[in-house]
Amino acid sequence: MIHRLRERKRGVSRLARPGIIWDFDDTLVNTAIFFETAREKYARFMVRLGFPLDGVLETLNLLDIENVRRCGGFLKECFPRAMVQTYVHFCGVNGVAPDPDICGKVEEMGWWVFEQRPRPVPGAAEVLAELREAGRYEMFLATKGDPSVQWRRIEESGLRNFFKKVYVLKDKTSVEYIQIARRHGLDPRRSWVVGNSIKSDINPGLAAGFSCIFIPNPHTWDFEMEDPVGDFVTMESLRGVPGLVLGKTGSGPDEIHEAAR
């Protein structure tokens, strides 16, 4: 008992378990592709209205990021609102009055994104099933975004039951990862964070003491880009995760990133 108390004092319990905290969007399911499709459709529509292609997507991106910052999180209205704001902005630049019907139409293009059913990344269910079968790690899902959208997407993905607990968070910083570890008795030194965002998965995971696996997704929003703060493993596909975390022979990371020192 004394031994255990001493360890608790140092913040390390012998009972602390290993776990994996998974990111959801564009790690286990593809969702950024919907935004990209909507942006492309929007750009074509703006060109048809007579606006120059140059600057439309850049302006849309800047206004979207500004909306997210102002809302303090990924609320679903940020993106459709940015589509209207961009149209209004270019109307102003070109000295024409915004048409309310067109405002409604471009807003609809933004809402379309949230009506789509997410498609699991190939291999996601198999990888989660293999890890659950192995039983070595308790698995958690930590996603940020609009709660109503995220909970629906998680249910529709069919992946919900692989996780001991699902967290839909306003933000993912080291604080949230530390809270999850404490709440579930996880030892970060023996646990992993897996995700496609340096800003929301890898850096806060590293800061919270986890080992991290970065699985880049070509559609990741540049809002999620950031310089890494430490060492992590990069994998081309989540299919490599079980081999790495279960320590099977013959499997290893595609790349180990070592932070500049």
Residues binding Mg ion (CB under 5 A): 23, 25-26, 196-197
Please choose, from the candidates 212, 228, 241, the residue with its C-alpha nearest in 3D space to the C-alpha of residue 131: 241
Closer residue to Mg ion, CB minimum distance, 67 or 197: 197
Provide the Cα torsion 123, 203, 72, 60; round to 10°.
-70
Closer residue to Mg ion, CB minimum distance, 89 or 144: 144
Q: Minimum distance between the CB of residue 27 and Mg ion, rounded to whole angstroms?
A: 5
Q: Minimum distance between the CB of residue 144 and Mg ion, rounded to whole angstroms?
A: 8
Residue number of the CB closest to Mg ion reads 25
Q: Minimum distance between the CB of residue 196 and Mg ion, rounded to whole angstroms?
A: 5
Q: Minimum distance between the CB of residue 25 and Mg ion, rounded to whole angstroms?
A: 4
Burial class (CB within 10 angstroms; exposed 0-12, middle 13-18, buried 19+) of 120? middle
Please choose, from the candidates 230, 171, 193, the residue with its C-alpha nearest in 3D space to the C-alpha of residue 27: 193
Q: How far is CA 9 from CA 5, 19, 60, in A?
A: 6, 22, 50
Closer residue to Mg ion, CB minimum distance, 56 or 235: 235
Question: Pairing state of beta strands 19-22 and 138-144?
Answer: parallel
Backbone angles phi, psi at 164, to 5 degrees: -65, -35
Q: Minimum distance between the CB of residue 194 and Mg ion, rounded to whole angstroms?
A: 10
Closer residue to Mg ion, CB minimum distance, 216 or 253: 216
Q: Minimum distance between the CB of residue 199 and Mg ion, rounded to whole angstroms?
A: 10
Closer residue to Mg ion, CB minimum distance, 157 or 197: 197
Closer residue to Mg ion, CB minimum distance, 23 or 107: 23
Answer for the pair 67, 195: CB distance below 8 angstroms, yes or no. no
